[in-house]
Amino acid sequence: MSDLVREARPLSLYLHIPFCTVRCAYCDFNTYAGLDDLMAPYTEVLCREIKLVGEAGGRPVAHTLYFGGGTPSLLPLELHARIFAALHESFTLTSDCEVTLEANPGTLSRTYLEGLRALGVNRLSLGVQSSHPHELRLLDRLHLFGDVVQAVSWARAAGFENINLDLIFALPHQTLAQWQATLHRVLALGPEHISAYALSLEHGTPMRAWVYRGLLPMPDPDLAAEMYEWASETLERYGYVQYEISNWARDDRIPQTADDSNPKSEIRNPQFACRHNLQYWRNGEYLGFGAGAHGHAAGLRYSNVLAPGAYIRRIESGEHRPYPLSPAVSECTRLGPEDAMGETMMMGMRLVREGVSSAEFERRFGVSLETRYPRELRSLQRRGLIEWDGERARLTRAGRLLGNQVFREFLVV
């Protein structure tokens, strides 16, 4: 499957596994600790939701699957096997389907990873976050960096050739030297993909409460920017290509065919760019399954009920809903053209190489970028936040640090 900007963008599937051993101090995802007894009934109704939507859609073709959470690696292999059986029964998966599973390093064994690989998981995403024990304790992570080293070794032995490692920087009390040490240790493991996010103090999280009560220092935006810029430069030196604000991937293909310095040229993303996340950033269609999962298909943006118990009850009710909805959907919005255009701009501008192509935008919406957003594009260009030559709009290096200022120009109010 070509990864050119103008490629056809088929359907993606997201499956939410909400179970955790401990809910991390910084996490605002839809996750729950202490609900292990719900794993089997949750899997049963998740399979039912997959079948209901797949049958209603006429067994659609999907090119990526993503198991997110929560901690999908807590789910026993036999329950994963049931999910894969439902997926193969209800959807047509492409021969090169990218199948990602998120995992916590301390939850894995070689046997478990071999089982996942046999089921069809071909991309592993490990929540590393830091290499320092005191930082991991602050984040409520249960693993140590030694567990990461072991998990990567087991994953390689099990046949995984595409591994992502997630990191968080700008932690309370974290120094630049500590962040540099973490990134160097991660680079030594040779992952194909690295995601690095600045700590965000999300509403309702213990970390935010600790900061606002004065128990922890407020993140320093200048230090965070220095950490980000250092990481970008370092990852580039090690051969990683930044294709999204917070994501870098290796590209082992030689030679490169696109002139990345020329905004008019066709952009080829790196070989190990996450195809599932590209679907989001290109504002493509995806179906969400599981408690709290979101979807975007058939002109609708929707989300499922959050609580696993409520999700199970809703699916068991068997209420008929038209594709792409299931009985678990609690919120649904039909997107108008203005909504779709604004979302395409906000998401697409995160792609620092690809950005948003005017030709692709016009093919999709019947109007060029210049016609639809003349004021916004010129203003952002004057402020040095985007490159814009009439053919493609994308962030400058300064714009990558001030992305929210760019995105809000395209908000639909």
Asked whether residue 179 falls in the same domain as residue 51, the answer is: yes
Roughly what angle, to the nearest 10 degrees, separates helices 358-365 and 337-348? 160
CA dihedral 35, 38, 39, 42 (to 10 degrees): -130
C-alpha–C-alpha distance, residues 228 and 226, integer Å: 5
C-alpha–C-alpha distance, residues 122 and 99, integer Å: 5
pLDDT attached to residue 389: 93
pTM over 0.85: yes
pLDDT attached to residue 288: 98
Q: In total, how many domains does the chain have? A: 2
pLDDT mean for each 10 residues of the chain (413 residues):
43 98 91 95 98 96 97 97 98 97 96 98 98 97 97 98 98 97 98 97 94 95 97 97 97 61 66 97 97 97 97 92 96 95 96 96 96 96 96 95 94 74
165 three-state secondary structure = strand
CA dihedral 204, 208, 209, 214 (to 10 degrees): -170
CATH of the domain at 149: 3.20.20.70
Asked whether residue 384 falls in the same domain as residue 276, the answer is: no
406 three-state secondary structure = helix
Residue 312 located in a structural domain: no
pLDDT attached to residue 387: 96
Asked whether residue 119 falls in the same domain as residue 228, the answer is: yes
Type of residue at 124:
L
Residue that is written with structure tokens 């973490």 in the block: 182
pLDDT attached to residue 413: 61
Asked whether residue 51 falls in the same domain as residue 183, the answer is: yes
> What is the total residue count of the chain?
413
Asked whether residue 48 falls in the same domain as residue 144, the answer is: yes
Structure token digits, residue 304: 């499922």
Structure token digits, residue 310: 């409520």
Residue 326 located in a structural domain: no
pLDDT attached to residue 396: 96
pLDDT attached to residue 266: 66
pLDDT attached to residue 259: 46
Containing structural domain, residue 386: 349-410
Asked whether residue 138 falls in the same domain as residue 230, the answer is: yes
Asked whether residue 209 falls in the same domain as residue 355, the answer is: no
Residue 119 located in a structural domain: yes
294 three-state secondary structure = strand
CATH of the domain at 385: 1.10.10.920
pLDDT attached to residue 236: 97
